[in-house]
Amino acid sequence: MRLRTLGCSGGIGGNLRTTSFLLDHDVLIDSGTGVNELSLTELSVIDHIFITHSHLDHIACMPLLIDSVGFMRDHPLTIYVTEETLEILRNHVFNWKVWPDFTRIPNAQNPYMRFQTIALGETVNLGGRRITPIPAVHTVPAVGFHLDSGSASLVFSGDTTINDALWEVANRIVNLRYLIIETAFSDNERELAIASKHLCPSMLAEELLKFQGGAEVYITHLKPGEVELTMRQIEKAVHGHNPRLLLNNQEFEF
């Protein structure tokens, strides 16, 4: 399995792109503005999109992607979401007011997209690629994902705050090679991080004390304008795991 980072910022501006990852050539993990990195041809062969939660920075390009390439495809693109996120998307995005309901375009028998609900711990097997929703704690219903090739694994936390259940899962993964975890705010904004259910460096340090594995740790979702400050604070606060900044177009093979 190869995971390419299309976007990993908490905002936009210049070359910044919000959360999206391309797994091999046909799977997206989230669909933020990082999807703009892909060509029309690359977009047309995506068959699966796994969504962590309904916030705009994680779904912004999904409606546009479907509209752009639906006519080029001979089968629906499958969107994997929890029941709670599905309800939000139906009510607030694909509602004919914000965007058309592409589960009924061109018609309900032959739509451009379809939803498939997933639940915590329920593995989707795509030709030996195992993708499992894992716990996240955020202001809306949310999950992270465990990606397992069989020989090695990667965990993506999604947007989350203090989350004991994440570590219970991560500590059981014997082949875990990479951990991608958010730290949205600097410690200067710790109260905002708490209120919005994100992490800041001091909170990340507390969380990583619960992590028993030796996986490489990468930091995502930093706010624009605070990247250097936040990474300096992480370097001072975190001991033993040597977290590194996740970069656009960074790739992981596992």
**pLDDT the model gives residue 100:** 98
Provide the token pair at 95: 């509602």
**112 & 148 share domain:** no
Q: Is the pTM of this model over 0.75?
A: yes
Residues 57 and 113 in one domain: yes
How many structural domains compose the chain? 2
Confidence of residue 239 (pLDDT cuts 50, 70, 90): very high
Average pLDDT over residues 162-190: 98
Claim to verify: residue 34 and residue 131 sit in the same structural domain? no
Q: What is the pLDDT of residues 87-142, one digit of tens each?
A: 999 999 999 999 999 999 999 999 999 999 999 999 999 999 999 999 999 999 99
Answer yes or no: is 220 within a domain: yes
Confidence of residue 203 (pLDDT cuts 50, 70, 90): very high
**For the segment 132-161, what is each residue's pLDDT rounded down to a tens digit?**
999 999 999 999 999 999 999 999 999 999
Q: Please tell me the predicted confidence (pLDDT) of residue 149.
A: 98
Q: Sheet containing 244-245: give its strands across.
A: 124-126, 129-135, 143-148, 153-156, 176-182, 216-220, 244-245
Q: Is there a single domain that holds both residue 59 and residue 141?
A: no
| Residue 254 covered by a domain | no
252 pLDDT tier (thresholds 50, 70, 90)? very high
Please report the pLDDT score of residue 69 as a whole number: 98
* 135 shares a domain with 99: no
Residue 253 lies in a domain: no
Domain with 73 in it:
1-81+83-117
pLDDT for residue 139: 98
Helix (H) or strand (E) holding 88: helix 83-92
Residues 102 and 125 in one domain: no
Whole-number Cα distances in Å, 122 to 14, 27, 135, 228:
38, 17, 12, 37
Q: Taking Cα atoms as reference points, which of 202, 213, 194, 104 lies closest to residue 154? A: 213
Average pLDDT over residues 12-19: 95
Looking at residues 22-27, what average pLDDT do you find? Answer: 98
Residue 162 lies in a domain: yes
| CATH at residue 132 | 3.60.15.10
